[in-house]
Amino acid sequence: MKVYEFDGFPNPARVRIALAEKKMTDQVEFVSINVPEGEHQQAAYLAKNPSGTVPALELDDGTVISECTAITEYLDASSGERALTGTTPKEAAVIHMMQRRAEAGLLDAVGAYFHHATPGLGPDIEGEQCSQWGEMQRHRAEQGMRYFDGVLADQPYIAGEAFSMADITAFAGLAFADFAKVEIPADCEALIAWRARVSKRPSIAG
Amino acid sequence: MKVYEFDGFPNPARVRIALAEKKMTDQVEFVSINVPEGEHQQAAYLAKNPSGTVPALELDDGTVISECTAITEYLDASSGERALTGTTPKEAAVIHMMQRRAEAGLLDAVGAYFHHATPGLGPDIEGEQCSQWGEMQRHRAEQGMRYFDGVLADQPYIAGEAFSMADITAFAGLAFADFAKVEIPADCEALIAWRARVSKRPSIAG
């Protein structure tokens, strides 16, 4: 399998962490797509992934899977026991729900701020920007941090008792927030403690 | 189980169709949340679903699942054979990928246009609007229609050979587009033909 990515970017980090959690990193060849130079918007890459996003997973039969949730589902389901996406219908549903909340309310919200209310990756890459939307999404990201702080005051992980795909999304969201200078409110103690704990996992600490 | 929804709205329609496809409609009690009056933003509903969105599925043990993908995963996995979310890891991954593309590139894009570049549900419900963002997302929805038209020129359903959760999302996206007056480009013949075919399914035609 190949993973098309750009090292250090938040969405590729999600798949890097999922692979490491599954001990599958050595089963993958990483192919760098130079996003800051616009390679993800060029025809060769769009032929593989019409969404023009990284990461994307190419299976050995040539099928290309984009979207981190889809990639994580594939990696988790194809390798024996599920470790990131739940083993019962209820676990899976709660993980998918919390993953989507972390994506929409934190990671993608920070991304919208970065790409619309800051210079982002520069005018050649960003195209039309909408600073009002970016600022609205920065506010949403801060609200998302407060929501997850409340969740984590009551349970050890984003989707309950176990680490899951939802934690990976939220962790990547906070990493992107650091990069984009969206600060975690200092009183979000449960969120800050969770982050410190998750940072020590071998899949992240290395 | 209970489904909190508002009849006729696009996201509740996704769960209505999924239930009908699974022949599970009679296992559910529907509870109307008056979104045009703002009931989804009031404390009683937010206590059940902090996202403040409809639909949400309440299980008999009190667990509340929001996000259509999570609800559909639960319904499909909890009722024996999977019919909407794939049976192999690769099928599941492709369905999740295409579902997400239909959500981000069509349904949610139309929603952003409706809620930001039109009066939407009115000033009491909408809060801050961003018309530039709404217009950008209208353009994205039209691009999404063209993308799915290309997909459907090569295969009968959004994620391949079989009807799936991805078709439900795209179908709801086009229904919302009608409501918001975002027209399908007339030359999107494969998309228009797919819609006519899917409209005849018992889960939709009734």
Instruction: Judge whether A83 lies within some domain.
Output: no
Residue from B73, B113, B131 to probe the interface with A (highest A Cβ count within 10 Å) = B73
Give backbone dihedrals phi and psi of A13, rounded to 5 degrees, phi first: -60, -35
Q: How far apart are CA B107 and CA B110, in angstroms?
A: 5
Q: Decide if A94 and B63 are in contact by the 8 Å CB cutoff.
A: yes
- Identify whether the C-beta of residue A18 lies closer than 8 Å to the C-beta of residue A83: no
Q: Decide if A100 and B73 are in contact by the 8 Å CB cutoff.
A: no
Residue B84 pLDDT greater than 90, yes or no? yes
Does residue B119 sit in the same domain as residue B35?
no
Q: Decide if A133 and B128 are in contact by the 8 Å CB cutoff.
A: no
Q: Please state the domain count of chain B.
A: 2
Q: How far apart are CA B29 and CA B22, in angstroms?
A: 15
For B123, other C-beta atoms within 10 Å of its C-beta total: 9
Does residue A144 sit in the same domain as residue A199?
yes
Residue A149's domain is classified under what CATH number? Answer: 1.20.1050.10
Does residue A111 sit in the same domain as residue A155?
yes
Domain closes at, from A48, A78, A108: A78
Q: Residues near A89 by Cβ (< 8 Å), separated by ≥ 6?
A: B73, B74, B77, B78
| A179-187: average pLDDT | 98
Instruction: Judge whether A130 lies within some domain.
Output: yes
Q: For strand B64-66 and strand A56-58, is the pairing parallel, antiparallel, or unpaired?
A: unpaired
> Domain residues for B45?
2-78
| Least CB–CB distance from A73: residue in B59, B78, B96 | B96
- Identify whether the C-beta of residue A171 lies closer than 8 Å to the C-beta of residue A192: no
Does residue B115 sit in the same domain as residue B65?
no
List the one residue out of A195, A203, A175, A192 whose CA is nearest residue A84.
Answer: A203
- Identify whether the C-beta of residue A34 lies closer than 8 Å to the C-beta of residue A88: no
Residue A165 pLDDT greater than 90, yes or no? yes
Q: Decide if B97 and A136 are in contact by the 8 Å CB cutoff.
A: no
Does residue B74 sit in the same domain as residue B96?
no
| Least CB–CB distance from A93: residue in B71, B93, B101 | B71
Q: Decide if B97 and A63 are in contact by the 8 Å CB cutoff.
A: no
* ipTM > 0.95, yes or no: yes
| Least CB–CB distance from A97: residue in B70, B95, B105 | B70
Instruction: Calculate what percentage of chain A has a pLDDT beyond 70.
Output: 100
Does residue A180 sit in the same domain as residue A106?
yes
Q: Decide if B96 and A69 are in contact by the 8 Å CB cutoff.
A: yes
Instruction: Judge whether B43 lies within some domain.
Output: yes
Residue A206 pLDDT greater than 90, yes or no? no
pLDDT tens for B56-73 read 999 999 999 999 999 999
Q: How far apart are CA A29 and CA A126, in angstroms?
A: 28
Instruction: Judge whether B60 lies within some domain.
Output: yes
